[in-house]
Structure 1
C-alpha cells in the first residue's frame, strides 16, 4: 500500500486545490494531508488565513480523495510528518519545484503542475476589490 502525503494552507478552497489533491491521491492508495496551522500560516505568509485551521481541516477531511488530515505546525518538522505517516510519496505543487528535494532520502518527491490562472491570493484580491 502506497501512502501519499501533501501539505498546504487550503484557504478559500478552490478547484486548484481539488485538482492537486485528486491527482496526488491517484499516485497511491492513501492520501494524507497536512494543513498549515493558523500560526504557521501567519509565519509563512504574513497574514492569518480567512478560514481557521479547524475549518480548513474539516473541508479537506470531507473530500473523498483524502484519507487523513493533520495540522502542520512547523515547516522544520516536514520530515518528521513524512516519517510519522509512513509516506512513500511527497507531492507538492510545481511552484515549489526543487524546494523539497532534500526529502528524497526518505520518500519519492513529485511536483505536480498547478491549475493555471487560479490562486487563493488572486481570489482574495478579486473579493477585496468588489
Structure 2
C-alpha cells in the first residue's frame, strides 16, 4: 500500500488546497494530512490562523480525497511523523522545493506545482480591504 503524507496549515481553504490534496491522493492508495497546530502556525507565520485547529482538522477530514488527518505540533518532528504514518511518499508544494529532501532516506519526496495566483495570505489581504 502506497501511503502519501503531506503537511499544511490549510487555513481559509481554497481551490489551490483542494487541487494539491487531490493530486497528492492520486499518487497513492491513502492520503494522510498533517495539519499545523495553532501554536505551530503562530511560530511559523507570526499570526494565529483564521480558523481554529479543530475546525481546520474537521474541514480537511471531510474531503473525500483525505483518508486520515493528524496534528503537526513541531517542524522538527517531520521525520518522526513520516515514520509513524509509514509514509511511502511525502508530497509538498513546489514553493518548498528542496527543503524536504532530507527525508528521502525515509520515503520518496515529490514537490507538486502550486495553483497559480492564489494563496491564503492574498485572500486574507483582499478580505481585510473590503470596507
- Does 1:128 find its partner at 2:128? yes
Runs of 4+ in structure 1 over 6 Å off: none
Alignment of 1:38-117 (within 5 A): 38-117=38-117
- RMSD across aligned positions (CA): 0.2
Cα drift, residue 19 of structure 1: 0.3
Matched length: 130
For normalisation by structure 1, the TM-score amounts to: 1.00
Q: CA deviation at 1:6?
A: 0.1
TM-score where L is the length of structure 2: 0.99
Distance of 2:27 and 2:45 partners within structure 1: 29
- Give, in whole Å, the separation in 2 of the partners of 1:86 and 1:41: 24
Give SS of 2:5's match.
Answer: strand
Task: Tell me by how many angstroms 1:76 deviates.
Answer: 0.2
Cα deviation 1:28-54 (Å, max 9, x = unaligned): 000000000000000000000000010
Cα deviation per residue 1:36-81 (whole Å; 9 max; x = unaligned)? 0000000000000000010000000000000000000000000000
- Tell me, yes or no, if structure 1 residue 17 matches structure 2 residue 21: no
Give unmatched runs, 5+ long, in structure 2.
Answer: none
